[in-house]
Amino acid sequence: MMKRGWGPTVSLLLVLIMLLSACSGGGSTSGGAAKDGGDAPSGGAAKGGTINYGLSDEPDTLDPQKSGLAVVASLSWLIGGSMLVQDPQSKAYICYLCDTYEVSGDGLVWTFKLKQGVKFHNGNPLKAADWKYTFERAKDPATQAKNAGALLKEAKSVEAVGDYELKVTLSNPFAPFADALTTGFLVPLSKAAVDKGDYGRNPVGAGPFMFAHWRSGERIALKRNPDFNWASAFYRQKGPLLPDELVYKIIPEEATRIAALESGDVDITNVNYQNVQRFNSDSNFETLSIKRQGLGLFVIFNLERPILQDLKVRQAINAAINREAIIKAVLQGYGKPAFGPLPEVFFGYDPGVEAKGPRHEPQKATKLLEEAGYTKGAEYYEKNGQPLTLNLFTMTSGTWKASAELIQAQLKEIGVKVDVQPYEWATLTAGLTNGKHDMSLMGYTYADPDVVYLFLHSSQIGNGINWSKVKDADLDRLIDAGRTTVDPAKRADVYKQLQALMIDKAYWAPIYNEEQFFAVNKRVQGIWMHPTKGMQFIDASVKAK
Amino acid sequence: MFVYVIKRLMAAVPTLLGVSLVIFSMVHLTPGDPVQVMLDVHASADQVARLRHEMGLDRPLPEQYARFVWGAVRGDLGVSLKSGRPVGAEMADRLPATLLLTFAGMGIAIPFGVLLGVIAAAKRDTWIDSLTMVVAILGVSVPSFWIGIVLMYVFGVRLNVLPVAGASSWKHLILPAITLGALASSVLARMTRSGMLEVLSSDYVRTARAKGLAGKVVLFKHALKNTMIPVVTIIGVQIGSLLGGTFIIEQLYAWPGVGRLAVGAIQARDYPMMQGIGLYVASAYVLVNLVVDMVYGLLDPRIRYS
Long-range contacts of A499-502 (CB under 8 A, 24+ apart): A499/A340, A499/A341, A499/A342, A499/A349, A499/A350, A499/A352, A499/A353, A500/A350, A500/A352, A500/A353, A500/A356, A501/A472, A501/A474, A501/A475, A502/A340, A502/A341, A502/A456, A502/A475
pTM: 0.87
A5 by DSSP, 3-state: which?
A: coil
Burial (CB count <10 Å: 0-12, 13-18, 19+), residue A543: middle
A433 vs B contacts (CB less than 8 Å): 33, 36
A20 vs B contacts (CB less than 8 Å): 174
Looking at the partner chain, which of A144, A255, A264 has a beta carbon nearest the beta carbon of B51?
A144
Q: State which amino acid sits at residue B155.
A: F
Q: How far apart are CA B186 and CA B183, in angstroms?
A: 5
Q: Name the CATH architecture for the domain at B94-299.
A: Orthogonal Bundle (1.10)
A487 by DSSP, 3-state: which?
A: coil
Identify whether the C-beta of residue A393 lies closer than 8 Å to the C-beta of residue A437. Answer: yes
Closest-CA residue of B relative to A428 is B32
* pLDDT attached to residue A12: 53
Q: How far apart are CA A325 and CA A127, in angstroms?
A: 54
A259 vs B contacts (CB less than 8 Å): 152-153, 156-157, 164-165
Q: What is the pLDDT of residues A256-298, one digit of tens each?
A: 999 999 999 999 999 999 999 999 999 999 999 999 999 999 9
| B224-243 vs B87-122: helix crossing angle, rounded to 10 | 150
Q: How far apart are CA A502 and CA A506, in angstroms?
A: 6
**Can you give chain B as a three-state secondary structure string?**
CHHHHHHHHHHHHHHHHHHHHHHHHHHHHCCCCHHHHHHCCCCCHHHHHHHHHHCCCCCCHHHHHHHHHHHHHCCCCCECCCCCCEHHHHHHHHHHHHHHHHHHHHHHHHHHHHHHHHHHHHCCCCHHHHHHHHHHHHHHHCCHHHHHHHHHHHHHHHCCCCCCCCCCCCHHHHHHHHHHHHHHHHHHHHHHHHHHHHHHCCHHHHHHHHCCCCHHHHHHHHHHHHHHHHHHHHHHHHHHHHHCCCHHHHHHHCCCCHHHHHHHHHHCCCHHHHHHHHHHHHHHHHHHHHHHHHHHHHHCCCCCCC
CB contact under 8 A, A429 and B37: yes
Q: Residues of chain A whose pLDDT is less than 50?
A: 1-4, 11, 15, 17, 19-43
Mean pLDDT calculated for residue range B232-239: 92
CB contact under 8 A, B50 and A144: yes
Q: What is the pLDDT of residues B21-80, one digit of tens each?
A: 998 888 888 877 777 766 665 566 777 787 788 778 888 889 989 988 898 889 899 999
Please determine, for residue B101, whether its predicted confidence score (pLDDT) is greater than 80.
yes
Closest-CA residue of A relative to B82 is A60
* pLDDT attached to residue B43: 66
Mean pLDDT calculated for residue range B139-148: 90
CB contact under 8 A, A144 and B153: no
Looking at the partner chain, which of A63, A198, A260 has a beta carbon nearest the beta carbon of B164?
A260
Q: Running DSSP on this structure, what letter comes out for residue A111?
A: E
Mean model confidence pLDDT for chain B: 88
**Can you give A203-260 as a three-state secondary structure string?**
CCCCCCEEEEEEECCCEEEEEECCCCCCCCCCCCCCCCCCCCEEEEEECCCHHHHHHH
Q: How far apart are CA B100 and CA A222, in angstroms?
A: 26
Domain boundaries in chain B?
94-299
The minimum CA-CA distance between B12 and chain A, rounded to whole Å, is 31
- Four-residue CA torsion sign, B246, B251, B253, B258: positive
Put simply, whether B31 touches A (Cβ < 8 Å) is: yes
